[in-house]
Structures are given as C-alpha cells and as structure tokens.
Amino acid sequence: MELFQAKDHYILQQDERALWCSRRDGSLHLRPATDLLLAWNPICLGLVEGVIGKIQLHSDLPWWLILIRQKALVGKLPGDHEVCKVTKIAVLSLSEMEPQDLELELCKKHHFGINKPEKIIPSPDDSKFLLKTFTHIKSNVSAPNKKKVKESKEKEKLERRLLEELLKMFMDSESFYYSLTYDLTNSVQRQSAGERDPCPLWQKVPLTARAGFHQNNL
C-alpha cells in the first residue's frame, strides 16, 4: 500500500481504491485511485502494510493516523487465511506540519534510485502566508497569553508521552494480530453461522474490535 503526502491530505492507495486522510480535520474518505490526479503535488513517502486507525489524544490536538509499518506471517487458518503479527507501526500527524522520518520501505515505482522521498516545497505564496502568520502570532504573544502557551506545551508533552506508550504497546508486547480475509474477533462457530452474510469483513467485525486487533483463538 502506497502512502502519499499532498498539501491537504495523506493518501493511502492500493489497487483501484484510495483512502484520503484530511490534514485539516482528520476526516477519512474512500475514493477511486484515479482521484490521485486531483491531489496537489502528491509525493510518495513509501509503503505501509495497512491502517490500524486514528486517535486523538486531546481535543485541542490533531488526530494521529496509526499505520502498520512491518508485519510477520505467523501462520494460516483453514481456508488458507493468513494471520499476521504487527511488528512495527508508524504514527502520522493529520495536520499541516511536515511528517517526521517514518522509516518506511521505499516504493520502487516512485523511488527508483532515490534514497529518501522528497519533501513538499511550498509555493512562494504559501511561504509568504506562513511567514506573515508566524509574525502575526509572535507579535500577539503578550503576558496574558503566557498561560495559554504553557498549557499548550503541557498538552504537547502529554501527547508525546502517550505516543511513546502507544509505540511500546504495539511493538514491545508482540500481541497484535490481524488477517485480511478472516475475522479473528469471532469464534469458529460464529464464523460458520455468518458464512452467508454478504457484508464485507470490516462490517462483520464487532464495533469494539473494528479499530484494533484481538488474540482470539490463536
């Protein structure tokens, strides 16, 4: 799955579909892969194995997108259903800030002969706007606003600590499994009972487990 960075979105594309993740409000939208042509200067950041979900650690802070960076095949269930373990994740801020180095596997299609993906270079108008905005904010930071600045720093510190714990939870516990073709959250009996259900797999999974993974019956 390819991960693209555009001006207003991060775009995850595979085959004929793409998931557009807004860098303004954190909203997610499924769109045809051909819509990538409509994105502003999309840059491929590399490859990911899948999307776990998104999380907002504080109402005043941006959403974070949690991606599967690496996986390991642990076995197969009857019916040739592959079960994988999440070994590494990456977190991506759904905001206008530049992403940190995600250490993703480079996409051979877009990074032939390139060691690292390029970064988006703002247009001259964007640069002027950012400089003007920064100057305006700086000139308005007065004594009454110091309390807000302190609160903001405390929230960011809390966010960093929670993100570190999130990374440890996924990468140190070795306890998160998934399958692209089999519902690991239900027993074999329930699976058999719902064999004729025409709904896609993601809709069959219980709501409480839809954004994560279970170690059910492994």
Residue listed under structure tokens 């979900």 = 53
Per the CB < 8 A criterion, the answer to whether 63 and 55 are in contact is yes
* pLDDT interval class at 194 (50, 70, 90): low
Residue 32 to residue 17: CA distance in whole angstroms: 5
Percentage above 90 pLDDT, the chain? 40
Q: What is the DSSP string of 75-95?
A: EEETTTEEEEEEEEEEEEESS
- 127-148 pLDDT per residue, tens: 443 444 445 444 444 445 777 7
* pLDDT interval class at 54 (50, 70, 90): very high
Please check the confidence at residue 195 and state whether its pLDDT lies above 90.
no
Give the CA distances from residue 95 to residues 63, 118, 202, in Å, rounded to whole numbers and listed in that order. 8, 18, 26
Q: What is the pLDDT of residue 197?
A: 66
Closest by alpha carbon to 93, among 176, 35, 157, 25? 25
- 18-45 pLDDT per residue, tens: 999 999 999 999 999 999 999 988 999 9
